[in-house]
Structure 1
Amino acid sequence: MKLLIQLFVKTCVETVNLTGMVILVGFLLGMLRNCSLINFQRGLGSGAVMVTGFIGVPVHELSHGIAALLFGHRITAIKLLQKPDANGVMGYVEHSYNQSSIYQQVGNFFIGIAPIFGGIACMIALMHVIIPQTYSNFINILMGNIHLETINKSTVTGMLYSYIGLVKSIFSAENFQNPYFYIFLFISICISSHISLSLADIKGASIGLTAIFFILLILNIFGLSKYIQEINLIKYNMVITSFLVIAVIFSMITFLVSLFFAALKS
């Protein structure tokens, strides 16, 4: 019994190491999105959600669709944008898969979280084209995090300062003089307004997460966990965090902008 408990705990820790940061940031993005949309609707009216949704929702749904195809799922229906229905749904991707396929089962997790990384990829691509100096600063931060070997107070402090520097780089005087920067800012706000996961996304991702857990459990039962341990989880989580921070930064910017409009209305 003790051995079973140890295997269970070990598997839980490994699952959290692999997916915990994405799940945590996903919930944070969800809270910021909900607050931002409430503020936008309060300040600009109910039509505000369609203004951001015109760009943000197609990016969200296309991310699901691309991930579904990559994991061998069959897309049965897709709607990139519609007026919010009774449940507030502005788009959807319906897909089916072979439940006996482990690969497709695990794929549910990545399909569920795809809008986070799809949105981040779009914002980074825009950054590269429109504000290349800021993009270079982000790449430097990413490369620095890849070489981290341990996590301690000094490394965490260094990361925080680097991300503060990234925010300053985004809102530099040079960028404000660039007319295309405002286009970048608007599109990024639209994307970040719809980057978080819906209840349906979370439900789908949980199916894949369960599959990941049982795969790790089987590996541990058969003593194959050494292959998991060969992955440098610190570097993995630092790289994942570097990308997720982009989503958090722009979701925070979106929230602050929404507060401004809500304050004007009041």
Structure 2
Amino acid sequence: MANYAHPPGGLPAQTELMTDRAVFTEAYAVIPHGTMRDIVTSFLPGWEKTRLWIIARPLSGFAETFAHYVMEVSPGGGTDAPEPDADAQGVLFVTGGTGTLVVDDDTHDLAPGSYAYLPPGSAWSLRATGTLRFHWIRKRWQPAAGLTPPPSFVTSDHDVAPTPMPDTDGRWSTTRFVAPDDLRHDMHVNIVTFEPGGSIPFAETHVMEHGLYVLEGKAVYRLNRDWVEVEAGDYMWLRAFCPQACVAAGPGRFRYLLYKDVNRHVPLSPPR
């Protein structure tokens, strides 16, 4: 059974040191779990008994395509009007508790590991039956000739077999909830898993923006010119072309929830 990290909330003791691993650079940010406390939570219009941590949002000159929320909904809380942007699609990934999701009149029970894709314009609502904790990643769907938005679906981390990466002897795998060649999807939200000692053995450098929330374990991660240590509950936020690599450095497996933008032409002029 998988264990999924969640922000600790609360406040550190007055005796704690202020020095931490938090950093924001021109190419990446690291938001350690210890910074995700009560004083940086927000509330949303239309959501009842709900608080959230906003850990990524579009920033000009940095990562510009997506927002990433970590949600906490108390029993009986939730919403009947979740998404204010008619062009926005979303992914929900549940890390704790239970709830009910209704999408286009279909009802789904949510539990740790549940994964839902919500296309733009879909009618959905959510209610917590226990304290429900989940990630909500939002991106505007980008139209393309001959393509329509994909349909909604609900599945689970436990029901999708990870795909081993080639030539890694199973040390590095990706749980893909969407087929990579399905061009209707212009974002992928996957789970990447490394067994102890597994690695990305080269500095990936590419156009896709990333948000990486560490669900489990620890690693040493290369971000641009720096090596940083990360562990369960930490978040890494990468702009396009930031070099990246990693080595799973703990006694157990290292897993993270990964966002990236895919499958669209590059605009040749800045947005107006």
**TM range, smaller chain:** under 0.3
TM-score normalised by structure 1 residue count: 0.25
TM-score normalised by structure 2 residue count: 0.24
Which structure is higher in strand share? Answer: 2
Larger of the two Rg values belongs to structure: 1
Give the number of the structure with larger relative contact order, counting CA–CA contacts within 8 Å between residues 6 or more apart. Answer: 1
